[in-house]
Structure 1
Amino acid sequence: MIYLRLILESFRFAGQALRANLLRTILSLLGVTIGIFAIISVFTIVDSLERSIRNSMNFLGNNVIYVQKWPWSFGGEYPWWKYFQRPAPNIREFRLLERRLENAQGVAIFWDTGNNTLKYRNNNIADINLMGVSYAYNLVSDIPTAEGRYFTTQEVDAARNVIIIGSTIAENLFRNQSAIGKPVRIKGLKFTVIGVMEKQGENMLGAPTNDKNAIIPYGAFSKLFSIGRNGVEPTIALKGYDTDPGLLELEYEAKGVMRNIRGQKPRDDDSFALNRPEMVAEAISGLFRVIGVAGWVIGGFSILVGGFGIANIMFVSVKERTNIIGIQKSLGAKNYFILFQFLFESVFLSLIGGGVGIFIVFLITLIPQDALKLLLSLANISLGLGVSVVIGVLSGIIPAVLASNLDPVIAIRSK
């Protein structure tokens, strides 16, 4: 009950301080407002950017290891020409991995090439990313279809001329018609549309989305392109199990099987790269951690100024209410009651400043953004309020201690 009374009295005294010295209080709290605004806005932008970039990387799949010629990152002083001399993965290696791997729930091979043109009657759409895939590709990468279906094993094995297209392709070629069953031409070869993928929209990285992707069986892909030539090299994708944390078992097994397939000796360097989306994710997280530290530094100076402002308010408040403190003590108020009274008031004032800063960030998130959708998370709101409480405690502790230690007789005599 006493704590409730303390809180209510603290609210009352804080309200009186705001009304009595409105301009002084606003100017003093401005530092906390700016500081919390700077920190929370930086973290909100960073979180939104990171979320958008990670969503842009969804095309890489989850729990997937890619067997490729080139690594996604070059470590050490390994000469680039040694990577250049590596053989690219091939169909034979894909078949052997498919048979031998026990820790993979799916093994797929695919080729992709950009700058393709699809035609339907007098309509055409350029700059299409065309992929030739094996049947298990839908296990390693999500292929959500809004209309139609995925390939059957018979269609892939027989290299039939069937195609799954993105929503942008369907909108441009068929307008308001259904695309299913319609013929499209690629380099003069006719393909029948069996599926249309769900619309994804643009992403932050400019990576290929399903909207302008077209997928065909890899056998049909070989009819259009000379596989292994002119830079058209395949990638083998290995889908791991959720019961394999970090895909360590799959990675060790895949490395051993690939070295065995290529007849590499124990002292030989790997002639292939095992790439993982986590490599890119870790690099992105490291970058955003640096930006987050910069946000703390920028906002920290403003919060420091705001903390001194609140401390100044509290010192003035103690001076103005010294007579009241003496009366309260003479009526039996304990030291801790006086201390908590001023401490709660300091925290309340700090929360007002921090709350205003968070509210400004929230208003900014309401502004429509095409490139980046800003979202103020509950974690960032909690962080802002938590920092405000800490600043309030640190700013008010010394004035509160001084007030609680006042001699009641001397305090009553003060004017």
Structure 2
Amino acid sequence: MLFFRLTWESFLFAFSALKSNLTRTILSLLGVTVGIFAIIAVFTLVDSLENNIKSSFSFLGTNVIRVDRFPFDSPPQNFPWWKYFRRPAATVSEYRFLQENIQNAEGITISASATTTLQAGSNAYQGTQLTGVAYTYQDVYEVALEEGRYFTEVEVNASRNLAIIGKKIANTLYPNQPIIGKEIKMRGLKFIVVGVFEEEGEGLFDLPSKDEACLIPYGAFNKMFYTGRNGIEPTIAAKGNENDIGLVALENEMIGLLRAKRGLKPTQEDNFSLNKTEFIQNTIGSIFDVISSAGWVIGGFSILVGGFGIANIMFVSVRERTNIIGIQKSLGAKNYFILFQFLFEAVCLSLIGGGTGIILVYFLSFIQLGTLELVLSVQNIILGLGVSSIIGVVSGIVPATLAARMDPVEAIRST
């Protein structure tokens, strides 16, 4: 009960100080408001931008290792492109070998992609990202369908002319019509639509989207395009287990199996690159970490000014209430009671400033920035309130300590 009574009295004192010196308080809290607004606004923008960019690379999958000729993380200086260019492309034979022998993968698949035009009657869709896939494609990459179904293993092995298309393609080829079971054409061949991807919407960058994608069985793809070293190079991809941190076990196993399949001697270096899709996401994250640090610097100066403003308010408040402090202590109030009273007032004032900054960021999130959707996360709200509380404690601790150590007789005598 003492704690709640103390908290309530401290709140009343803080509210009274705020109300009696409204102009002074607002000007002093402006620094905290601007600082919290700057930090949380930058974090909200950075988080939203980072999530948007990472979702744009969702077509690469998560926890996936790809077999490529060129490495993702090769430095631009002295890039030995001629060495990578001479490397052999992945083959169906290698995919089958890995599929039969690999132990540390949830799934492994092979695919090949090309850009083509789809037609249906007088309607056409250009720039379609056409991908020929094995049946195991769904084990490695997410295939979220809004309508229809995925291919059966028999259909893929028989190289049936079936297709799963994106929502934008479906709306273009057959506007306002059901499309499952309808016929489309590509490169002179007829295909039957068996599924439609869930709509993704516009991305921040012009990257492959399922809205403009089309999946067909790998064998059907080979009917239209030549795959191999001098044609369209297929990609082997394996999805790692969740408990394989960093995909270390999967990577080591794939290296051993591929070296054995390609007949590499122990002294020969690898003639392939294993690329983890998380490398791109980690690179993006490191870039935004730098931007977040800049946000701390920008907002930190404003918060520093706001902290001095709150400290100034508390020093003035202690001076104005010196007589009251003396009376409270003469009636038996302990030092911690006086300390907590002023410290709570400082934290309360700082939270008002920080809360105002967060509210401004919340309204900012309603601004339309093209395809970028700003989202104020709970984590950033907690961060803003936490920083505000710390600023309140740091700014109020010295004035509160001076008030707690006052001699009651001297305090009552002061005018």
- Which TM-score band (shorter chain)? over 0.9
Deviation at 1:160, TM superposition (A): 1.8
Aligned residues: 414
Stretches of structure 1 that go unaligned for 5 or more consecutive residues are none
Deviation at 1:2, TM superposition (A): 2.3
Question: What are the residue-to-residue correspondences of 1:244-255 with 2, within 5 Å?
Answer: 244-255=244-255
Aligned to 1:380: 380
Aligned to 2:309: 309
Aligned to 1:150: 150
The worse-fitting range, judged by mean Cα deviation, of 376-385 and 3-12 is 3-12
1:334-361 Cα offsets, whole Å, 9 max, x none, are: 2221111111111111111111011111
Residue aligned with 1:178, SS? coil
Aligned to 1:167: 167
Aligned to 1:293: 293
Aligned to 2:130: 130
* Pair 1:52 & 2:61 matched: no
Deviation at 1:369, TM superposition (A): 4.4
Residue aligned with 1:185, SS? strand
**Partners of 1:106 and 1:124 in 2: how far apart?**
35
Residue aligned with 1:325, SS? helix
Deviation at 1:368, TM superposition (A): 4.1
Residue aligned with 1:347, SS? helix
1:51-84 Cα offsets, whole Å, 9 max, x none, are: 2222222211222211111111204855221111
Which letter maps to 2:321?
A: R
The worse-fitting range, judged by mean Cα deviation, of 46-55 and 388-397 is 46-55
**Partners of 2:404 and 2:296 in 1: how far apart?**
34
The worse-fitting range, judged by mean Cα deviation, of 393-402 and 404-413 is 404-413
Deviation at 1:230, TM superposition (A): 6.0
Question: What are the residue-to-residue correspondences of 1:6-21 with 2, within 5 Å?
Answer: 6-21=6-21
Aligned to 1:330: 330
Deviation at 1:205, TM superposition (A): 3.5
Aligned to 2:62: 62
Aligned to 1:86: 87
**Partners of 2:59 and 2:400 in 1: how far apart?**
57
Question: What are the residue-to-residue correspondences of 1:13-412 with 2, within 5 Å?
Answer: 13-75=13-75, 77=78, 79-114=80-115, 116-228=116-228, 232-412=232-412
**Partners of 1:205 and 1:248 in 2: how far apart?**
31
Residue aligned with 1:105, SS? strand
Deviation at 1:3, TM superposition (A): 2.2
1:180-223 Cα offsets, whole Å, 9 max, x none, are: 22221111121121221211112233321111101111111112
Deviation at 1:32, TM superposition (A): 0.4
Deviation at 1:7, TM superposition (A): 1.6
The worse-fitting range, judged by mean Cα deviation, of 25-34 and 148-157 is 148-157
RMSD between aligned residues: 1.5
**Partners of 2:86 and 2:189 in 1: how far apart?**
34
Stretches of structure 2 that go unaligned for 5 or more consecutive residues are none
8 A Cα contact 2:88 2:229, kept in partner: no
- With normalisation by structure 2, the TM-score equals 0.96
Deviation at 1:408, TM superposition (A): 1.5
The worse-fitting range, judged by mean Cα deviation, of 357-366 and 226-235 is 226-235
The worse-fitting range, judged by mean Cα deviation, of 333-342 and 365-374 is 365-374
- With normalisation by structure 1, the TM-score equals 0.96
Relative distance call for 1:66 and 1:318 in structure 2 (3 A) is same
Relative distance call for 1:223 and 1:229 in structure 2 (3 A) is farther
Deviation at 1:320, TM superposition (A): 0.8
**Partners of 1:335 and 1:192 in 2: how far apart?**
82
Runs of 4+ in structure 1 displaced over 6 angstroms? Answer: none
